[in-house]
Amino acid sequence: MNSSFNKLLTFKTLITASMIIVFSINLLSIERVDALSDTKQLVLDAWTLVNEGFYDPEKFEEIQWKRIRQKTLQKQIETTEEAYSAIEDMLRPLEDPYTRILRPKDYELLKSSNFGSEINGVGLQLGEDDDKKVKVISTLGGSPAEEAGIVSGDFIEKVDGTSSKELGLANTASKLRGESGSKVLVEISSESGAIREVDLERRSVDLRPVRTKRLRDDSHTIGYLRITQFSESVPKKVEEALQELKEKEVEGLILDLRNNSGGLVSSGIAVADSLLSEKPVVETKNRNGIKDAIISQKETSFDGPMVTLVNKGTASASEILAGSLQDNERSILMGEKTYGKGLIQSLKSLGEDSGIAITVASYLTPKGNNIQGLGMTPDKLLDIPDASEYGSADDKWVRNAELFLESLLEKEKLSFQTSELSNEGIKP
């Protein structure tokens, strides 16, 4: 009896001790979480946002994402700058240059470019090629970079003597930005391998995202509409431009998306909605699979014949627009192969002043074509030099588009006249 009682007492004691140990461990764990410094909390917040939104969760297993969080939080992180650097190190194994930390200056600049009409800097839109080299997607019209002759396809080798390979895409872009009037020395290499240095003075660049004019000859009136980027205000500006062109009785439209490196995807989709009637615009593929295509509304702002100009600086949201027009046979594409950025980022606030961009989805054209890394091939390739000033009287690409539209309009006119003659021959 005593033996059984003693065993029971011993068992109860062990259970109680175990509960105390477990409870103590839980308390310690809670204390450790509660005791996270603000800088480490910033790192944890970044990890959580990426963990919840990144489009390819299979990558997490491959790189041991949870272990990366643990190792990162074990580091000594005392300043905000150290937190930003730790986040950069944490994100690097994802091998996605577009998922990145945005320091306050970069975050504010990106927000202003999406919602405003001006931007300070040198006017370069950057990406990475397959070898992780920092590559120029496009230059902004009227920017210091454009005036210095930097073109789509050039590579950024150094910024103020620091290698872009060492900096990475995000830090290269950040180092190029700065106060208006300040200067930055940039080493550029062309696709042919030629290297040169350019001294660029940063300044405010008027984005003027929507530009339009009327082209006239003896027979037809053509509208010209250039979109330089997709900011929040663009869909409304495009609607106004199309209404203005309709009042001028244009018969066809040249949509110029050259060197449009993207912007807000929602703005690109809204412009497609103005040109397509009840047609699929784009499909997106996120971590849960492919979503149903977004369908345009019935009403359009312009339904006449179109030509869309694209080049290797046409990327992201502008490729969504161009792809929807091409796949629905609404417009032919003319020019050269596009850049091939088919990933969509979501911008999240991080702390008071900083942010984080996270790739949340990839997109497919209405026919299911993947753009990422592939680009889009125009219906009609142009092997003549691109213009130095888009839409000018010397722009041979626009002239080619104009001649093509005039030939379409002549065919429509001839078809209509033939139909009228046939109807006249029918007697009651």
DSSP annotation of 248 reads T
| Beta strands per DSSP E along 243-305 | 252-256, 280-286, 289-290, 294-295
Q: What is the residue-averaged pLDDT of the chain?
A: 85
Whether pLDDT at 31 is above 80: no
Q: Which has the higher per-residue pLDDT, 222 or 418? A: 222
pLDDT of 240-265, one tens digit each?
999 999 999 999 999 999 989 888 89
pLDDT given at position 120: 56
- Considering the domain delimited by 11-95, tell me its CATH architecture: 2-Layer Sandwich (3.30)
Residue 20 structure tokens: 């105390």
Q: Which entry of 279, 312, 341, 348 is annotated as an active-site residue?
A: 341
pLDDT given at position 142: 78
177 phi and psi, to 5 degrees? -85, 160
Q: H or E segment at 163?
A: strand 162-163
Question: Is 231 labeled as catalytic in the residue annotation?
Answer: no
Query: For residues 286 and 291, what is the distance between their CA atoms, to the nearest angstrom?
Result: 8
Under CATH, what is the fold of the domain 210-412?
2-enoyl-CoA Hydratase; Chain A, domain 1 (3.90.226)
Question: Cβ(281)–Cβ(341) under 8 Å?
Answer: no
Helix (H, G, I), strand (E, B), or coil: what is residue 117?
A: coil
Question: Cβ(372)–Cβ(361) under 8 Å?
Answer: no
**Domain extents in the chain:** 11-95, 120-206, 210-412
pLDDT given at position 127: 82
pLDDT given at position 34: 47
**CATH code, 120-206:** 2.30.42.10
Q: Is the pTM of this model over 0.85?
A: no
Mean pLDDT of 112-128: 67
Mean pLDDT of 215-229: 90
| Nearest of 272, 168, 259, 149 to residue 211 by alpha carbon | 259
Residue 322 structure tokens: 């161009």
pLDDT of 280-325, one tens digit each?
999 998 998 888 889 999 999 999 999 999 999 899 999 999 999 9
Q: Which entry of 96, 256, 327, 386 is annotated as an active-site residue?
A: 327
pLDDT given at position 78: 92
Q: Which entry of 316, 318, 324, 331 is annotated as an active-site residue?
A: 316
Q: H or E segment at 275?
A: helix 265-275
Query: For residues 113 and 205, what is the distance between their CA atoms, to the nearest angstrom?
Result: 10
Question: Is 396 labeled as catalytic in the residue annotation?
Answer: no
Render 186-215 in DSSP notation, one character per residue: EEEE-TT--EEEEEEE-EEEE---EEEEEE
Question: Cβ(298)–Cβ(243) under 8 Å?
Answer: no
Mean pLDDT of 114-130: 69
Question: Is 285 labeled as catalytic in the residue annotation?
Answer: no
pLDDT of 336-373, one tens digit each?
999 999 998 898 999 778 999 999 999 999 999 999 98
- Read off the pLDDT band of 388 (50, 70, 90): confident
Query: For residues 177 and 141, what is the distance between their CA atoms, to the nearest angstrom?
Result: 17
- Read off the pLDDT band of 206 (50, 70, 90): low
Question: Cβ(327)–Cβ(272) under 8 Å?
Answer: no
Mean pLDDT of 99-122: 73
